[in-house]
Structure 1
Amino acid sequence: MFELRLLCPEAGVEPMSEALDALDALSVSVEDADALTEHERPLFGEPGMPAPQQGWQRSRVSALFASHEAADEAAALLLLQDFFADCTLIGVAPVAEQDWVGLTQAQFAPVQITPEFWIVPTWHEPPAQARLAIRLDPGMAFGTGTHPTTRMCLRWLAAHAEHVGAHRVLDYGCGSGILAMGAARFGAREIDAVDIDEAAVQATRANARANALQLNAGTPELAQGVYGTVLANILATPLKVLAPLLCAHVADGGRLVLAGILERQADELRQAYAPWLALEVADHEDGWILMSASR
């Protein structure tokens, strides 16, 4: 494996990446060339909103090729292109063989939700104290238990297990299905998990099968009637749009649980849901909050 390295201004990154893809690069990565220097200009954007600019002033573009010859040929062709005028060829270097699977897996250890409830990748054994566990590997759909919003929702389920086990549960925007599976672990017998992304629906079904858990997964039209627990871990903007729909699914005596909300967005969500339910902050972690309401 050989790596072709280039330096590009912001405007050159996209055409360079497209050209490398056309030249059959095995992968292309882009990094801030000024990272960890006095010239670094981090790109900050709000969740769900575009960044204030699309890229860094200078980027380091790296492309992997199967052979030194293929990397050299790609470099020679790129040098002839008009968009290369402000770019710099750093060179071609061999990439040492590594256990990439092992390196990736090492980033994901079991995640503690409560002392007895854990999310455990399949390459780990559950901790001795784990009375309840969900087996879940990183995949295409959001939700592995590592993000604060997911952990807060799972903690809520653990704290309200008696309520969850006595009612229908709706996981709206299910992603990997982790919240629906959490509800199943705490005794819920009728669970609908819905998402607009078909890949998320398929991931939820596969993950439920792998954990021997029963639930229904599908696109949003699957959600019918009212539920004792309605969970939605999305982001503040879609949560505001979904307010009338989500509230309509909450049964008398039911609970609504929302996450994906920044602390400073609490009042926005309260106002959006005020015509139907009174939201309150029920948990917080690392700048994120969980809000809940009862009918």
Structure 2
Amino acid sequence: MFELRLMCPEDRVELLSDALDALDALSVSVEDADAQTDAEQALFGEPGMPPPKDGWQRSRVLALFHEQAQAQSALQLLQAQDFFAGCELLGIDHVPEQDWVRLTQSQFAPVEITPEFWIVPTWHEPPAQARVVIRLDPGLAFGTGTHPTTRMCLRWIARHCNSAALSRVLDYGCGSGILAVGAAKFGATDVDAVDIDTAAVDATDLNAQANQVSLRAGLPEMVSGTYQTVLANILATPLKVLAPLLWSRVAEGGHLVLAGILERQADELKAAYAPYCALQVADQEDGWILMTAAR
């Protein structure tokens, strides 16, 4: 494969990326040309939302092609366009063949939730100290154990493993099903996992089978009755909208556990849930918080 490397100003990033895609580039990526320097820019938005801009003031655009001739032809076509003004060629380089599967796998190591509770990809052996293990590989649905929100929810589950909190559990917005699987691993025998995305439902079923636990996965309409624990690891905005629905599913003496919340959003969530319960911050990690309430 060959990589075409271009420099372009911020206002040309989208046009250039779309053009490269139309010219049959295998992939197109954009990097901050000033990364790791004093001129580096932070460019990100609300988690789960698109970034506020398409590129940086000086953006490096990288496009992969099967053949060198394809990369050179694409460059010639781009240079003839008016929108290429202000852009420049950085080079066309050969990209050595790699074992991309092995390279991808190397980025996912076992994740410690507690010293005895680990998330372990199938290509790794569990650590010697692990007593509870969830086998989980990266997939189409959110939730591999690497994100702070997932780890905090799993820590909460581990801390309540010997209580009535895990007698009946709802994982609302289950993604990969990792929280539902974790609850089942810690003894919950009645677990419902729901998501609006059918790919997430399928992923949850597969992950439950891989971990030899029993749970029910489906769309939100399958939810019935109340639960001793209602888990929802989504984002702050949908959590606020779902406040009356989620609280209505918490049984007497039960727990509501919410994640996907930034520290600065704590007061927003407390206000949204104030008509129903008193949310408290129960855990925090890397700018994210876990909020809980008991009925």
- Fold conserved (TM > 0.5)? yes
Worse-superposed segment, 191-200 or 39-48: 39-48
Q: What is the alpha-carbon distance in structure 2 between the residues aligned to residue 86 and residue 166 of structure 1? A: 60
**Counterpart of 1:109 in structure 2: which amino acid?**
A
Q: What is the alpha-carbon distance in structure 1 between the residues aligned to residue 193 and residue 174 of structure 2? A: 6
Q: What is the alpha-carbon distance in structure 1 between the residues aligned to residue 117 and residue 108 of structure 2? A: 16
Cα drift, residue 12 of structure 1: 1.2
Q: Do the aligned partners of 1:165 and 1:187 also contact (CA within 8 Å) in 2? A: no
Q: Deviation per CA, 1:227-260, whole angstroms, max 9, x where unpaired?
A: 1110001111111111000000001111110111
Worse-superposed segment, 188-197 or 46-55: 46-55
Residue aligning to 2:122: 122
Residue aligning to 1:135: 135
Q: CA RMSD in A?
A: 1.6
**Counterpart of 2:268 in structure 1: which amino acid?**
E
Q: Do the aligned partners of 1:164 and 1:188 also contact (CA within 8 Å) in 2? A: no
- TM-score, with structure 1 as normaliser: 0.95
Q: What is the alpha-carbon distance in structure 1 between the residues aligned to residue 246 and residue 94 of structure 2? A: 53
Residue aligning to 2:219: 219
Residue aligning to 1:83: 83
Residue aligning to 1:72: 72
Q: What is the alpha-carbon distance in structure 2 between the residues aligned to residue 87 and residue 135 of structure 1? A: 46
Cα drift, residue 166 of structure 1: 5.0
Cα drift, residue 162 of structure 1: 2.4
- TM-score, with structure 2 as normaliser: 0.95
Q: Deviation per CA, 1:186-224, whole angstroms, max 9, x where unpaired?
A: 111121111122221221111112112211112211212
Question: Unmatched 5+ residue regions in structure 1?
Answer: none
Q: What is the alpha-carbon distance in structure 2 between the residues aligned to residue 22 and residue 50 of structure 1? A: 22
SS of aligned partner of 1:213: coil
Worse-superposed segment, 207-216 or 57-66: 207-216
Q: What is the alpha-carbon distance in structure 1 between the residues aligned to residue 99 and residue 164 of structure 2? A: 42
Q: What is the alpha-carbon distance in structure 1 between the residues aligned to residue 139 and residue 91 of structure 2? A: 34
Q: What is the alpha-carbon distance in structure 2 between the residues aligned to residue 166 and residue 176 of structure 1? A: 19
Q: Do the aligned partners of 2:6 and 2:61 also contact (CA within 8 Å) in 1? A: yes
Residue aligning to 1:277: 277
Q: What is the alpha-carbon distance in structure 2 between the residues aligned to residue 253 and residue 54 of structure 1? A: 48
Q: Deviation per CA, 1:59-80, whole angstroms, max 9, x where unpaired?
A: 1111111111111111111112
Q: What is the alpha-carbon distance in structure 2 between the residues aligned to residue 70 and residue 49 of structure 1? A: 34
Residue aligning to 1:240: 240
Q: Do the aligned partners of 2:165 and 2:228 also contact (CA within 8 Å) in 1? A: no
Q: Do the aligned partners of 2:14 and 2:54 also contact (CA within 8 Å) in 1? A: no
SS of aligned partner of 1:254: strand
Residue aligning to 2:207: 207
Cα drift, residue 164 of structure 1: 5.5
Cα drift, residue 272 of structure 1: 1.2
Q: Do the aligned partners of 1:165 and 1:189 also contact (CA within 8 Å) in 2? A: no
**Counterpart of 1:208 in structure 2: which amino acid?**
A
Q: What is the alpha-carbon distance in structure 2 between the residues aligned to residue 73 and residue 186 of structure 1? A: 58
Q: Deviation per CA, 1:60-106, whole angstroms, max 9, x where unpaired?
A: 11111111111111111111222212211222110122222222211
Residue aligning to 2:162: 162
How many residues were matched structurally?
295
Q: What is the alpha-carbon distance in structure 2 between the residues aligned to residue 42 and residue 152 of structure 1? A: 26
SS of aligned partner of 1:161: coil
Q: What is the alpha-carbon distance in structure 1 between the residues aligned to residue 143 and residue 49 of structure 2? A: 20
**Counterpart of 2:126 in structure 1: which amino acid?**
P
Following superposition of structure 1 onto structure 2, how do residues 143-158 of structure 1 map, counting pairs within 5 Å?
143-158=143-158
Residue aligning to 2:93: 93
Percent same amino acid at aligned positions? 73
